[in-house]
Chain A
Amino acid sequence: MVDVRDLEDDLALSTPPADRAGMGDFYAAVMRLSLEHRQILLLVGVEGLSYREVAAELGVPIGTVMSRLARARERLREALDGPGAGAQIVPLHPSRGSAP
């Protein structure tokens, strides 16, 4: 049976005891993301879809998939590290940076 309640049991089985609190924080950080950021993180990170498959699934250009994914990961890092974490990010070449 597919039951989201079992997630807690899955965590107990799949993570060492010392990591469980950390996974709870991680889960909370994921849930603070916007819907589209959460969606793309899970499609790529959990489902294992290629960028092309995600683009087809969501009906958006592959460039949008790439920029959205980059932004989603950045937001997740900020959620995990706390406010201001984004300022620590090393800027990359502006002309090749991700789209908003």
Chain B
Amino acid sequence: MNRPAAIAETELHAFIDGELPPDRVAAVRAALAAEPALAARAAAYRADKLALRALFGPIADRPLPPAWIARIAGHRPARRLAATRRMAIAAGLVLALAGGAGTLLLRGGDTILAEAEGARDGTLRPTGSFVAQAGSAYMLQAALGLNVRPPDLAKFGYHLVTVDFYAGPAAGLVYRNAQGAELSIYVRKSHGDARFDLLRRGKLRVCIWQDDVVSAVMTADMPAGEMMRVASAAYASLDM
């Protein structure tokens, strides 16, 4: 009996994902038929893929609140606003990117995301709003009781425009770039364990980070890679 031609590891996964070129499908099928261990492994990979969908899919399918989406898209021309709404309402992705010390989200219990949502849609009323100024860092420290400062995101093209304060206490830092795109960071004292999560809705990203001192939610309309870079820089420069 002829042994089936070898297949590449990447071909096995492309087969599972329906991405394999048609002219290689027969080879993969033959390899799976000839190698029970390979077939078992492929079945396990398929099961893992289904489990991922079962675990994260329910959250990924939820839309963000329209008011949140509208505020983020509000500084764009109408044509882009419509596109952004469509993207945001479409099924999105929760990228659960907990850090090494991250606590399982299953056991999470803080309300930082709900608070940030309230700050964005206006249901959480600020106790004061200020145009960004040289004293913003001092105001932030005094209001939050934390040794923090507004992150400098100038190298990414974003500049702090307003600082809103909320009961809690908490603060909302609103940044804008030259094109009018808005990036916001909601920050307050930490009420929970370490975590780092990135949620995606179309082009819209919401990044949540929390350590034993600070909880923060960053929201912006940018690709995942850029979001990670900006969020990492923001996190690193938040401390005084």
A contact set with B: CB distance below 8 Å: 1-8, 10-11, 13-15, 23-24, 26-28, 30-31, 35, 38-39, 41-47, 50-51, 57-59, 63, 66-67, 69-70, 73, 76-77, 80, 88-90, 92-93, 96-98
Contacts and interface: CB of A to CB of B under 8 A. Distances in A.
Interface in B73-92: 91-92
Given A8-B106, A27-B55, A77 B45 contact: yes
A4 B52 CA distance: 15
A96 B11 contact: yes
Contacts of A98: 8-10
Contact of A92 (B12, B109, B110): B12
Given A2-B206, A96-B11, A46 B52 contact: yes
A57 B104 contact: no
A92 B62 CA distance: 40
B63 to A, nearest CB: 8
Contacts of B35: 90
Main secondary structure of the interface of A (DSSP, over half): helix
A67 B13 CA distance: 9
Contacts of A47: 60, 91-93, 200
B113 A4 contact: yes
6 contacts: A46-B93, A59-B223, A73-B13, A77-B41, A92-B12, A93-B8
Contacts of A58: 224-225
B48 interface: yes
Nearest to B10: A66
A51 B55 contact: no
A14 B58 contact: yes
Interface stretch (B94-102, B126-134, B153-161, B180-188): B94-102
Given A5-B108, A6-B59, A31-B96, A46 B6 contact: no
